[in-house]
A and B are shown apart, each in its own frame.
Chain A
Amino acid sequence: MSDIGFVRTEMLPEQDPPASEVGIIGWMRHNLFDGWFNSALTLLSIYFVYKVLAALVPWILSPTWDAGSLAECREVLGALGREGHYAGACWGVINERWIQLIFGFYPAELYWRPIAAFVLLGVALAPVLFSDKVPSKLLIFTILYPFIFPWLLWGGTIWGPISVVLGFVVGWLVYSAVDKAVSNLALVYSAVDKAVSNLVGIIAGAVAALIWWLILSGYFVGAMDSIAAIGIEPVESRKFGGFMLSITIGVVAIACSLPLGIVLALGRQSDLMIVKYLSVGFIEFIRGVPLITLLFVASTLLNIFMPPGTDFDIILRVLIMVTLFASAYMAEVIRGGLAALPRGQYEGADSLGLNYWQSQRLIIMPQALKISIPGIVSTFIGVFKDTTLVSIIGLLDPLGLSNAIRADANWNGIVWELYGFIALLFFVFCFSMSRYSMYLERKLHTGHR
C-alpha cells in the first residue's frame, strides 16, 4: 500500500477570476502599480508629461493667427503680458504661407489640378489598399492613373499621355504577333519551345514600344495637335514646390520602387549568373552611396554627360534617382522575406507542377511580401522623409521653402512654428502609412502555421 495513489471523483467547475485581477482596478494594478519600483516610475512619468504639457500648451494657444510679421506677434503677446522667448507661438507665418508650403509656386488659378490629382490618387489607390471593400473594377482606373497623374500636374497636350499609352499598346500588339508567329514556327520545326517564343516576343515588343516612344511618338503628338489641340496649360517644373512636390516624389518613388525591388530581389536569388551579379552589383552600389550624392549627380553631373541642349527635366531626374535608391533598399527588405519562407513552400509549389513565375506570383511573393510588410513600410516612410533632401539641390520642397520664408524680413527669426507645421504634415502621412501597415498585417493574418 502506498499513499501516492489518487483518483479524482469529481471534476472541478470553472470559476471567475478574483476581482483584483479584472476590470480597471486589475488593469491599473498590473500595468501601472505593479510593485513599488513600477509605481515610482509611473508617478515620475506622469510628472514629466505634466511639465512638458504645461510648457507647451500655453505656447501653442497663442492668439497670433492674424499677425502679419514677427514684430506684430510680439506686440500681440506683449499686450497680453506675455514676454520673452517662449511667450507664445507666432502663427501668423503659417496663416500667411501655408498655401505656399503646400503648393510651392504653382499658379494659384491652377490649384485645382494638383488637388484633383491627389484626390484621384486616393481613388486609384483604394482598390489596391482596400481590396476587400472596393470593387475591383476600379483597378482599370488604377492602371490608367500613372498617365493621368503627370498630365494633371505638368499639363500640356492630352496627346502626350495618350501617346505614351499607345506605346504600351504597340508593344503588346507586337509581342502577341511575334509570340504567335514564333510558336507557329515552333509547331513546324519543333525546335523552339514556348519559353523561347515568349522571350523573342517580349524583346520584339519592348523594341517596338521604344521605337514608338523615342521616334514616332513626337510625330504622332505633333500631328494630332494640329488636328485637334486639346490640352491644359503647361506648368514648368521649377514652379513645383512645397508639400505637393514631396508627395509627388514620394508617391512615384514608392510606387515604382516596390516592383523594381521585387525584380531585384528575385534577380539576386536567380540561378542565372549574369542576372544575379547585375542585381547584386546594383543593390550594393546604390546602398553604398548616400542619397544626397545621387541627387547631386542628378542635378549637376548628369548635365555634363548629356549632349548640350537636351532638356532633361530636373524633377524627372530626381524621381529616377530617388526611385533607384528606394528600390535597392526594397530589394533587400524583400530578400529578407524570401529568406524567411521555409523551403517547403517552394517544394510544395514545384511538386504541383507550377512553373517559376506561377509559384513566385501565387505562392512565394504573397507570403514574402506579407512577412516584409513592416520593413517595406519603413522603407516607404524613409523614402518619403528623404524627399526633403531635394532642398539641398535647390528644389523648393517644404524645407527649401522654409529657408526662403525665414529669409523674409517679416518672419526673420521664426523657427519652431514653421518646422512644427512641416513636421506635423509629414507626421500625418507617415503615421497613416504605419497604421495602414498594421491594419494590413492584421487582415492578412491567417492563423499560426
Chain B
Amino acid sequence: MSQLAVEREIDRSKMTVSDEVAIEIVNMNKWYGAFHVLRDINLTVNQGERIVIAGPSGSGKSTLIRCINALEEHQAGKIVVDGIELTSDLKNIDKIRSEVGMVFQHFNLFPHLTVLENCTLAPIWVRKTPRKEAEERAMHFLEKVKIPEQANKYPGQLSGGQQQRVAIARSLCMMPKIMLFDEPTSALDPEMIKEVLDTMIELAEEGMTMLCVTHEMGFARQVANRVIFMDAGQIVEQNEPEEFFNNPQSDRTKLFLSQILGH
C-alpha cells in the first residue's frame, strides 16, 4: 500500500485533543439478521481526536462508523454523540446527522444538482440558512478544497478526486462537529488520492474531530493520534500510531500490517 507522505511540515498547533467527549460508545452490539457483525464495541472519542480505523475487509469498520450517524441501527448498547443519545427517536437522529458529516467511498454526490447546489441543499433545508448566506459559505468551503471554479458544474463532469473534495465541502457546509470518512480514497486513481488526503490533512490541522476508515497508512502515521485495528467485528488493538506500527501486540495486527505494508 502506498505510504503517501506529505512533503510539507504539518502544522500541529491546533491539533489538540480536549477533555470533552465527542462520541461515546458503550457495549454496543449489532447483528445483520443472525450475523453478529459488531461485538461489544467500547470506544470514547474526545473532541479534536483524529482516529484511523483499519482492518481487513469485512471486519465491520464501515458498519461501525455508519452506526455513529444512525445509517445503521445498533441493537444493544449505547451510542452518545455530542451529548445526544442515539435512540430510535427520529428527531434525535436528524439532529445528530446534521452535526456529524460523512464522506463515502463512492462520494454519493447528487448528480442532478450542481456542485454549488449540492453544497447549499442541506444548509438551506435542514439548517434554514438563507440562500445567499448558504451560497457564500459553500463558496468558502469550495475554495478551501481548491475547486471554487467548478461550482456551477455537475458532479458527473468532475474527476473522482474533485468529486470527493466536493463531498467533503458539502459535509463541511453543515458546520459539523465531527467528520466520518469511510474509505474516502479507495475509489480513486493514485494521482487523485493525494489531493483528497491533502484536504483531509488541512481539516485535521484545523482541529476537526475525525474518524477515518482508510488504508492510507502514511496518513495514519502523520495525522492520527490513535489507530484502531478491527477484526471480526471487534476492536482488537488500539494505540498511538508510532507504537501501533512499530510495536504491534496482537498476532492479527501483525499479520494485517505485514500484508498491507508489504513486508
Contacts and interface: CB of A to CB of B under 8 A. Distances in A.
A binds B: yes
Given A352-B170, A446-B154, A344 B121 contact: no
A347 B104 contact: yes
29 contacts: A193-B91, A194-B91, A342-B106, A342-B108, A345-B108, A345-B110, A347-B71, A347-B104, A348-B104, A350-B97, A351-B71, A351-B104, A351-B108, A352-B98, A352-B122, A353-B94, A353-B98, A353-B174, A354-B121, A354-B126, A363-B110, A366-B112, A446-B111, A446-B154, A446-B155, A446-B156, A446-B157, A447-B111, A448-B156
Given A358-B125, A362-B125, A448-B156, A350 B71 contact: yes
Interface string B154-190: 1111000000000000110010000000000000000
Nearest to B100: A351
Contacts of A344: 104, 106-108
A363 B107 CA distance: 15
Contacts of A358: 125-126
Interface string A180-194: 000000000000011
B144 to A, nearest CB: 18
Contact of A449 (B95, B98, B111, B170): B111
A444 interface: yes
Interface in A158-183: none
A310 interface: no
Contacts of A366: 112
Interface string B109-150: 111100000000110011000000000000000000000000
A352 B91 contact: no
A353 B110 contact: no
A355 B122 CA distance: 10
Most buried by B among A194, A345, A348, A444: A348
B255 interface: no
A447 B122 contact: no
Interface string A193-205: 1110000000000
Contact of A352 (B90, B111, B126, B156): B126
Contacts of A362: 121, 125
Nearest to B117: A362
Nearest to A353: B98
A370 interface: yes
B126 A195 contact: no
A269 interface: no
List 5 tightest A-B contacts by C-beta distance, closest first.
A447-B156, A353-B98, A348-B108, A352-B122, A446-B154
A367 B112 contact: yes
Contact of A351 (B91, B95, B97, B121): B97
A143 B170 CA distance: 34
A351 B102 contact: yes
Interface of A: 193-195, 342, 344-345, 347-355, 358, 362-363, 366-367, 370, 444, 446-449
A355 B90 contact: yes
A204 to B, nearest CB: 22
Interface string B72-106: 00000000000000000011001101101110101
B193 to A, nearest CB: 20
Given A194-B91, A367-B110, 18 more contacts: A342-B106, A344-B106, A347-B104, A350-B71, A351-B71, A351-B104, A352-B97, A352-B122, A352-B170, A354-B121, A354-B125, A355-B90, A358-B125, A362-B121, A367-B112, A444-B112, A447-B156, A449-B155
A441 to B, nearest CB: 13
B238 interface: no
A367 B111 contact: yes
Contacts of A448: 156
Nearest to B109: A348
A347 B105 CA distance: 12
A356 to B, nearest CB: 8
Nearest to B121: A362
Contacts of A449: 111, 155-156
B71 A352 contact: no
B234 interface: no
Contacts of B112: 366-367, 370, 444, 446
A352 B106 contact: no
Interface string B8-24: 00000000000000000
Nearest to A356: B90
